[in-house]
Structure 1
């Protein structure tokens, strides 16, 4: 026997003809022919395989590469020797000994074949991989044996432990051989040939054992047999003859060269997993069918099922262990890669084909303070200075067009809003599947650029707008003050309002473009002898030699220029600029930087005053400096600094003013009024600190505190038997807040006060004229809470609007019923009209600001039943109001 394919087919055809002729002659001749052919073929191939193993060993001086061929040769040798012993026993005895000998041969040869197959180079390179192959094959084989056993109900062919052991061994061995061949890491054709030969040999031995048991009869050397037994012996012989030949052919093609297989292929974990699914599902289906048909599981079925479960569980355990090991390996590699990238001083940025940032290295946060949220998803040119964005875009497009590497120098905005000088190397890596983008390596060259800028600092020019910078402007102001008084001139300071929202809404690129356009307009507005400058951010300044009147006109032109819409590519921005003006002659002696800074401070105070007075207007305002502005600014600055945290410090307080029935002079309710008592500023009235609170975003917090305090006090008074209602003031911002209704409902429920005993007051001047206000007022009414318009008569609300506003109480201001100056008679019939209209609409009226008895007479004559004012009771703390209530009997509204 040799491994030449032509010789193999010649021998195989000869063996088929001989086995067929022997089979037709009878079982005895068939058995003899099969045994002779198997013995000869197995021994010849065993010798060839063992010689191949010895040759590999002598060539490598190592037992590792030669073990596979050696054990495969031993399997073939065991097969031939076992068949010879079985034939001898069968010819000399009439007992069951031949079947036992054939079974022992199968049980010894099958593991030997598997051991040699798993030790072949490239089939399973590690011990863990071999164990996985064994567990995969064991799981498949035992599961199939279990399914066949349950379906066949333990046929007589497999009665007895030895035949059953042979059947299970053959099934498991064949499964392991198939798995090992299919899952070979290297030299898969050679491994498949060896696996196929081993499987044929094992199947032939198993079939030989089963047919020999059928051929033997008690008391006879050979039984009469049957035709299918003779044919089966011929098939078994062919398998036993072809198996060693395939093993030898595959073993000669296998190589033992070192390799570095992929982890998944080497382990066989991930790709080998699905092999168990089919047999496992088959076993489950067979078990369920068997149970539904009333069958029972005998001990053999139970044992096979337990063995299959153990094999699958062990395989799962190995798979879980491998997954953890692979996860640790990947984590280690990723950590190694991240450490290398993060430790680099260069920032790596990956762009897609649209030049949008897709990834940046962690060094960006350390080097430039840029987070992923600031960068990812934005074009790279948006991160660059507007003056450098055009050349950078051309360089990037050149890389996309085919240039391999491009060096780019540009200013990059860091995470703190500062421009950083950078140098970038750009390379096209779109063809690399691991990157698939344009890679930009950014380096900070700020030190080098700073050196260059220090050489050019004598120009004193703002880098972004090309206007004079702050340093140059301060020097010019100090020099101008040294001129004669008649030529001292003025300083203008302007700042673009709402400029911060431009960067938030449109991005820093648009914001920079706005600054550049604003600088252009400023140059166009000023005269040739004037010095325009950019101070910082969106702040600009102008030094002019004109007197104050002409400087005011110049400031008006600047404000008008800044108020024009900024038409930019893709965006239109509407801004305004308030301008402050100060005269250098009134600035003392601003020699040097300190004096010039004082001039700027005075102009900026005037600008801030203009900003306060221009709220609600579309355009900017111009104001000249006045010392009173500075005092008011200091006061407002103190309020802005002290107001945050006022609730936590316990500086807020509520005072209460009774609302009285004008006929009986009995209290019907009270109004809660907010006060701020600061240890240094003293008592700050609401009209002074509430606007500041709204600007700082604290109005909701203060309003919610006042609401809860008022409801808590009302709950106490009602618990003491005082049947009162309580009114609480709310701002327009509170009324428009989405959670205001929930806040009111929570306060009512928390303090257990009837909803109808609470009145929410909104000043007429602050009442927004839109459907949102109507919906909020209607929502309060739906809660059962009543609503009131306070200071009616001082705002724009028309009488006709009362019909659509869902209000319950109208608190008219003193201006409707006070006596006009120079007249003794009561004023006007307007209060009669208001009260009459309110009565028709079902709205109760409270006259506020009653200070004289004549006021009471006027409103009573008009039909107003309730009043509030200093004449009746001043606002006071709860304990003093309680004393007032004790002296009067409270009554319902």
Structure 2
């Protein structure tokens, strides 16, 4: 089984430079940077595409030791000056951490996303060439290399997503030794053989973790649930997406081991965060887990042992893996008898989805609204999602729209009559261990975003 956005920070070139540059531990400090991107979108919309880059100065700490703390500001100023000299009209340029510079700048007109990726790579190469020339600071000669990650800003996707993509792309370069470029347009998928070799022992090495993404009621803005996702951070491969490593998990027969570990971690989390109030936690089920009786038995034993109320744990089942037979009805009934909720994911207005709903009678269906309102959206998709929402509600099933990233998408699904929402517009996924400290901030964000 698998904070709140800023509020009008200071503007102007380098307005947050000194504060964020001295942030301990290199933590990402994106508020002013994201504010500038939002401001650009509000002013120009989709008229001008942006490159979003995160640049890490690989040997910055060593350089600071060499020149002393009093000259660090002068070195940073030279770095920004060189970046600005090759970037086309920077929209934003802010220090995100001690050695991490965020940059957003205009791209030439591009007819396709691939063209945008090409321009991002070209720009990154120009910046890398500029930054690797020697620096002269009060008689000291300093040499730096850089790791650059880039993404193309798309107006139908949240700005936080693009910054995170660029940051992750930069980390991939940095963890391979730095001095390189990676564009997060079509991230490379590790070869299956590599994953098969790396997966055994991943739990024991502490590489697996859980992340949570909140779900909120549209009527009140109250957070009622968190979706649980498994994450794998490998020291060499970096962050591996679940859709890439889960097939390898099933191939190796590790699905019960990882499913059991996930459930154990979740139960511990529920006990430790009981003070935040009753929350539902939704786990994603794979095809093999849905077919295996062991999974249902494991869930029911855990609920009984911990005395959890009915529905506190929910299983998210993609429509495409629901068996088209009485077996689906039997397994759904066993889940309900054990106090386990059922959510049908990837629900749409087609025969497969309707059949799955009839067989399982879920508590909730989930519509994938990630591309809603996109210029690349198939013209029929919006109508099909709306029809799916109307039909599901007519059957007495609540409807959640997930993947929301813009206010426009939220307005659309409100008009359909959806009951709840989930997505980057509300909050990014965050480590499950942060729940006790993060829940109140997320709840306040939900109230301001959604409450009437």
Task: State TM-score, norm by structure 2.
Answer: 0.52
- What SS does structure 1 have at the residue aligned with 2:329? helix
- Alpha-carbon spacing, 1:823–1:635, altered in 2? closer, same or farther (3 Å): closer
Aligned to 1:751: 306
1:654 equivalent in alignment to 2:221: no
Map of 1:856 onto structure 2:
410
Counterpart of 1:413?
none
Taking only aligned residues, the RMSD between alpha carbons, in angstroms, comes to 2.9
Q: Note if contact 2:403-2:422 (Cα within 8 Å) is conserved in structure 1.
A: yes
Q: Map residues 725-804 of structure 1 onto 2, 5 A cutoff.
A: 725-793=280-348, 797-804=352-359
Residue of structure 2 aligned with 1:642, choices 194, 198, 203? 198
Q: Mark the runs of 5 or more structure 1 residues left unpaired by the alignment.
A: 1-631
Contact persistence 1:714–1:725 (CA under 8 A): no
Aligned match of 2:232: 676
Distance 2:195 2:402 in 1: 29
Paired with 1:725 and 1:822, the residues of 2 have a C-alpha distance of 34
Cα separation, 2, equivalents of 1:811 and 1:679: 34
Per-residue deviation, residues 661-701 of structure 1 (Å, max 9, x unmatched): 22333311101100011222221110110011111111222
State the Cα distance separating 1:747 from its structure 2 match: 1.8
1:702 aligns with 2:258: yes
The C-alpha deviation readout for 1:95-128, integer Å capped at 9, x for no partner, is xxxxxxxxxxxxxxxxxxxxxxxxxxxxxxxxxx
8 Å contact from structure 1 (residues 657, 881) kept in 2: no
Report deviation, 1:773: 2.4
Question: Greater Rg, structure 1 or structure 2?
Answer: 1
d(CA) in 2 for partners of 1:823, 1:675: 29
Distance 2:410 2:189 in 1: 40
SS of residue in 1 equivalent to 2:201: coil
CA distance in 2, matches of 1:673, 1:840: 30
Q: 1:794 to 1:763 in 2, by over 3 A?
A: farther
Query: 1:716: how far off?
Result: 2.3
Is this contact kept in 1: 2:347–2:367, CA < 8 A?
yes
2:246 aligned with 1:690? yes
Paired residue secondary structure (2:320): coil
Shift in alpha-carbon separation, 1:854–1:826, aligned structure 2, 3 A = farther
1:839 aligned onto 2:393: yes
Structure-1-length-normalised TM-score: 0.27
> 1:877 deviation in Å?
1.0
State the number of aligned residues.
259
Equivalent in the alignment of 1:501:
none
Q: Tell me, in whole angstroms, the C-alpha distance in 1 between the residues paired with 2:255 and 2:432.
A: 23
Matches within 5 A, 1:342-361: none
Cα contact 2:276–2:439 (8 A) shared by 1: no
The SS at the match of 1:754 is coil
Structure 1: distance between partners of 2:252 and 2:379 = 46
- Give the corresponding residue for 1:147: none
Asked if 2 retains the 8 angstrom alpha-carbon contact of 1:765 and 1:795, the reply is no
Shift of 1:649: 2.6
The alpha-carbon distance between structure 1 residues 823 and 784, as it changes in their structure 2 partners (threshold 3 A), is: closer
Once residues 791 and 798 of structure 1 are traced to their aligned partners in structure 2, the CA distance between those partners, rounded to angstroms, is 8
Alpha-carbon distance, 1:741 to partner: 1.7
CA offset digits 1:271-326 (Å, max 9, x no partner): xxxxxxxxxxxxxxxxxxxxxxxxxxxxxxxxxxxxxxxxxxxxxxxxxxxxxxxx
What is the CA distance between 1:885 and its match in structure 2?
1.6
Higher-RCO chain (CA-CA 8 Å, sequence separation at least 6): 2
Asked if the contact 1:810/1:845 (under 8 Å) is kept, the reply is: yes
C-alpha spacing 1:885/1:770, structure 2 compared with 1 (3 Å)? same
Deviations 1:596-615 (A, max 9, x none): xxxxxxxxxxxxxxxxxxxx
Matched residues in 1 for 2:429 and 2:255: separation? Answer: 22
- The correspondence of residues 582-661 of structure 1 with structure 2, limited to 5 A, is 635-661=191-217
